[in-house]
């Protein structure tokens, strides 16, 4: 089944902030490494979107750990995978919000 990935505006903003932070602190190589890991995970989601655990049964949000500091939250909708957030695990989890 062909699935497409859709990024929420929050996730798009999260990714931009993470990439800017990584570039400022550690440079382009770390940014490229992060992007490679993220691309691999996105390809895995297309193949098998249910491989990562549901963290909220009511909303069916799933969580995938990208690195020890970043996790990707997503939701499956028929033929699409909606990336809801990419969240830095060092932040306060009470501030993590999702908008559908």
Q: What pLDDT does residue 100 have?
A: 66
* Spans of all domains in the chain: 4-91
pLDDT digits (tens, 9 = 90+) for 19-30: 999 999 999 999
Burial of 92 (0-12, 13-18, 19+ CB in 10 A): exposed
Q: What does pTM read for this prediction? A: 0.90
Q: How many angstroms separate the CA atoms of 92 and 95, rounded?
A: 6
Residue of higher predicted confidence among 83 and 88: 83
CA dihedral (79, 9, 96, 29) in degrees, to 10, reads: 90
Q: What pLDDT does residue 17 have?
A: 94
H or E, element range at 26: helix 9-26
Residues 63-73 as b or e (16 or more Cβ within 10 Å = b): bbebeeebbbb
pLDDT digits (tens, 9 = 90+) for 9-64: 999 999 999 999 999 999 999 999 999 999 999 999 999 999 999 998 999 999 99
Q: For domain 4-91, give its CATH number from 3.30.2310.20, 2.40.50.100, 3.40.50.300, 3.10.150.10.
A: 3.30.2310.20
């Amino acid at each position: 089944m062909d699935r497409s990935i859709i990024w929420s505006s929050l996730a798009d903003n999260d990714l931009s902030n993470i990439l800017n932070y990584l570039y400022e602190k550690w440079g382009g190589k770390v940014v490229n490494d992060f992007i490679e890991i993220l691309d691999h995970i996105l390809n895995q989601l297309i193949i098998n979107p249910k491989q990562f655990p549901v963290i909220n049964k009511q909303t069916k949000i799933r969580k995938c750990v990208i690195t020890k500091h970043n996790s990707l939250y997503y939701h499956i909708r028929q033929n699409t995978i909606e990336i809801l957030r990419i969240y830095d695990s060092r932040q306060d989890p009470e501030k993590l919000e999702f908008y559908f």
